[in-house]
Amino acid sequence: MPTLETTVDGLKLPNPFIIASGPPGTNLNVIVKAFREGWGAVIAKTVSLDASKVVNVTPRYAKLHSTDGKEIVGWENIELISDRPFKIWEDEFKKCKDMFPDRALIASIMEEYRKEAWVEIVERCEACGVDGFELNFSCPHGLPERKMGAAMGENPEILEEVVGWVMGAARKPVWAKMTPNVTHIEDPSRAALKASATGISAINTIRSVMGVNLETLRPEPSVEGYTTPGGYSCRAVKPIALRMVMEVAQMIRKEFPGRSLSAIGGIETGNDAAEFILLGADTVQVCTGVMKFGYELVKPMCEQLLAFMEKHKFETIGNFKGKSLDYFTTHADLVKRQSERKAAQKAAKVVKSDGEWSGEEFVRQSEALSR
Ligand SMILES: Cc1cc2nc3c(=O)[nH]c(=O)nc-3n(C[C@H](O)[C@H](O)[C@H](O)COP(=O)(O)O)c2cc1C
């Protein structure tokens, strides 16, 4: 019987399905629900020391439906990090660890570009018993104005420095969460790993504009008639996430073997998870999927992933992690492989008995038999 149990960076998880930082981990009530439904771990909504600077707007989501209107395929948000006071979070982290001492609770943290702030938030979270950290270097909206989130994630030098501060203070594993809004995601990922981050999480949301209302001529989501670019998630981003996870996984394999990778972006099924694990992920995270289908989603996801493992006779997640990475190459190599195959097929088509001579192929068949 295959097992979904897996250990990543010392964290023992009942399965690789993790609640991604966002609304599904936004307070103790919902985190409790996630653990009760069987999620492998929870990454709480991103917290900062001073929540008074975080002011959200409504509406802050916009959805893209399939053409038949039945399915949500894309989701834009202009939501900021948690607007709840850090003191409340400290209390809830502690309560959560009292209730679920053997389940992994990961704090997602974000701070301004000041060493004291990063060290303080790490130390205060660790004092509450959290099992690890995810550094949010990736929120594409709102916070870059304060040089937070993606503003750091887009700058490998700053990122390396900040990860260094965190690694100097943290005793628990630290995953650096990457923004996809860069040309080469390997660059900031490499900077984080150089500074000794335990692992990488990828991807956060993709900077986007959901659309323009053709009646009002205003872009969406419209707040008092105006908007600001937000972050795109949900099924539509999966192919981009797969590509970026593959790129980070190749880099980890070559330059930082043993560091972990947590995949995020449009994951809604066990088969989606299998694809990301085949491209090098240790764990998979889900945010929008939970907002669409509820916390119960983890059960069919686990069942489908187990069925995939049974079919291919994989006993553990480690048995197939990164197995499909070897099949990426350059376009020039694809051309070479194809012409080699065609040549081999042609060579194989030599006449082996007189009945195989054909009027149309006669000259080629004669040629193929010549020295
Ligand atoms: C409404 C919303 C709020 C989010 N808030 C955060 C956040 O506070 N911190 C963070 O690191 N990522 C946040 N994310 C990004 C998700 O964790 C995830 O990286 C992204 O949505 C892609 O995964 P998905 O397609 O499963 O949603 C948020 C996403 C959504 C949709």
Q: Please list the pLDDT of the chain residue by residue as tens digits (371 residues).
A: 899 999 999 999 999 999 999 999 999 999 999 999 999 999 999 999 999 989 999 999 999 999 999 999 999 999 999 999 999 999 999 999 999 999 999 999 999 999 999 999 999 999 999 999 999 998 877 676 777 888 888 999 999 999 999 999 999 999 999 999 999 999 999 999 999 999 999 999 999 999 999 999 999 999 999 999 999 999 999 999 999 999 999 999 999 999 999 999 999 999 999 999 999 999 999 999 999 999 999 999 999 999 999 999 999 999 999 999 999 999 999 999 999 998 888 777 888 899 999 998 899 889 888 87
The domain that contains 14 carries what CATH number?
Answer: 3.20.20.70
**One domain, residues 130 and 84:** yes
Q: Which of 39, 204, 244, 272 to mutate to test the pocket of ligand 1 (most atoms within 8 A of CB)?
A: 204
Q: Does the C-beta of 205 come closer than 6 Å to ligand 1?
A: yes
Ligand 1 atom with the smallest distance to the CA of 288 is 27
Q: How far, in whole angstroms, is CA 311 from its chain's centroid?
A: 25
Nearest Cα residue to atom 4 of ligand 1: 22
In a domain, 317, yes or no: yes
Q: What is the pLDDT of residue 142?
A: 64
Distance CA 210, CA 64 (A): 7
DSSP per residue over 229-295, as a string? Answer: -EEEESGGGHHHHHHHHHHHHHHHHHHSTT-EEEEESS--SHHHHHHHHHTT-SEEEESHHHHHH-G
**One domain, residues 339 and 321:** no
Sign (positive or negative) of CA dihedral 126, 129, 133, 138: negative
Distance CA 253, CA 260 (A): 10
Q: Which of 234, 287, 293 to mutate to test the pocket of ligand 1 (most atoms within 8 A of CB)?
A: 287
Q: Does the C-beta of 234 come closer than 6 Å to ligand 1?
A: yes
132 C-alpha to center of ligand 1: Å? 18
Give me the helix-helix angle, 298-312 and 270-278, nearest 10°: 50
109 C-alpha to center of ligand 1: Å? 13
Range of the domain at 336: 331-368
**One domain, residues 259 and 348:** no
**One domain, residues 196 and 112:** yes
In a domain, 60, yes or no: yes
Residue owning tokens 């999927």: 289
Residues 6+ apart with CB under 8 A from 162: 113, 118, 135, 137, 152
Q: What is the pLDDT of residue 67?
A: 96
Q: What is the pLDDT of residue 337?
A: 97
In a domain, 305, yes or no: yes
**One domain, residues 248 and 350:** no
Distance CA 158, CA 137 (A): 10
21 C-alpha to center of ligand 1: Å? 6
**One domain, residues 27 and 94:** yes
Q: Does the C-beta of 21 come closer than 6 Å to ligand 1?
A: yes
**One domain, residues 296 and 355:** no
**One domain, residues 306 and 359:** no
In a domain, 1, yes or no: no
State the total domains in the chain.
Answer: 2
Task: Give bridge partners of residue 201 from the DSSP assignment.
Answer: 177, 262
CB 263 within 8 A of CB 241: yes
User: CB burial class (10 A; 0-12, 13-18, 19+) of residue 219?
Assistant: middle
| Residues carrying an active site annotation | 139
Counting DSSP H helices and E strands in the chain, the numbers are 13, 16
In a domain, 32, yes or no: yes
Distance CA 128, CA 125 (A): 5
1 C-alpha to center of ligand 1: Å? 34
**One domain, residues 277 and 356:** no
pTM: 0.94
**One domain, residues 356 and 297:** no
**One domain, residues 363 and 285:** no
In a domain, 214, yes or no: yes
**One domain, residues 292 and 340:** no
Q: What is the pLDDT of residue 259?
A: 98
Q: Retrieve residue 108's tokens.
A: 């997602």
